[in-house]
Amino acid sequence: MPRFSIVVPSHGVAGRLSQALDSVLAQSFGDFELIPVCDAPDAPAADVVAGYAERDSRVTPVHSPPSAGLAGARNTGLKAAVGGHVLFLDGDDVLVPGALAALDARLSAVGDVDVLYFEHERTPWWEGEPTNPAAPLLARTPKGAFSPDRAPQLTGVALPAWSAVYRRAFLTERDLAFPGDHFTDVGFGGLVALRAERVAALRAVVVRHLLRRQGNRLGLPGEHHAELLDQTELVLTRAAEQDLPADRLKPLFEQLFAAVLKTAAHPRRLTSERRAFFRWASALYRRHRPAGYRAPGGSVGVQHRLLASGSNAAFRTLRAAHRTA
């Protein structure tokens, strides 16, 4: 059984896929299987992958139709995986040199954890300085393995699926899979964090996320933004069923609604469905707000209070004022 199974969805990134695959095959740690997920045997990405599979027996491609989306591609790759731990790498991102060796060393040090979170870089394809958004979340984690109660800020919803490595048996035994299509990382990350019993952190960059100039679909206008609320409801409903302790429920609630408020306040993401989005978000906020919850201070707290009261007109006024400023 290989140490790692690395699942790489390839839909829409055939032109960049070689960089992702090369970054894996060039790793100094070689005990892994590489699972590219292609749309179909005759898809452009499949032609790219076929050459790699011929040259390296560790490359084992599988197929998932485009209609299944990113979630379906990752779930297909997960079902095919046989490694001890699973890492999901987007087809237009790369592993940094030494990434797998660092993961192996950390896993050996902390023992049999369900999830190992790690840092990542967001680097523009064109120009600009890289950022490391995971570093603040991981900075306060204990040095060894720990229960999620000891690091409640690690809710899973604020980190992409490719910013962690997962024990495969943990995912399969608890029947954890990527839900929905859009914003699937939010739902998967939350469900994983709710079920994990032992986690750890690696305070080093493992994945370099290459930002496109045009961004990705999650930042474009459209009805798909309603799926963020689907994922929010899914995670908070499971948290309620699990009777999640208050010190873990509060950061989970805040991180989910930070994403919701960011979308609600964005000038272009929501168009004709803006009122419906706000109305549904307000209902979810009131239904799942933790007992005794106090909104943060400042303008963010004002947004919380307006969402809780369903004051869409006042929220729009505040949003317009911020844009003017």
Q: How far is CA 83 from CA 4, 6, 35, 223, in A?
A: 5, 9, 11, 37
Q: How far is CA 11 from CA 36, 44, 45, 65, 69, in A?
A: 10, 9, 7, 9, 8
222 pLDDT band, cuts 50/70/90, is low
Query: Which residues, 6 or more positions from 199, have their beta carbon under 8 angstroms from its beta carbon?
Result: 113, 114, 115, 116, 117, 145, 146, 147, 148, 151, 154, 193
Separation CA 298–CA 149 (nearest Å)? 28
pLDDT tens profile 160-200: 999 999 999 999 999 999 998 889 999 999 999 999 999 99
Separation CA 312–CA 130 (nearest Å)? 36
Give start-end residues of each CATH 3.90.550.10 domain in the chain.
4-215
First-to-last C-alpha distance (Å) of the chain: 57
Does the pLDDT of residue 214 top 60, yes or no?
A: no
What is the reported pLDDT for 43? 80
What mean pLDDT comes out for the span 83-89? 98
DSSP letter at 36? Answer: E
Tokens of 316: 């729009």
Which pTM was predicted?
Answer: 0.93
The arrangement of secondary structure in 4-215, i.e. its CATH architecture, is Alpha-Beta Complex (3.90)
Which candidate, 89, 75, 123, places its Cα nearest to that of 21? 89
pLDDT tens profile 263-295: 888 766 767 678 888 899 999 999 999 999 999
Higher pLDDT, 127 or 54: 54
What is the reported pLDDT for 9? 94
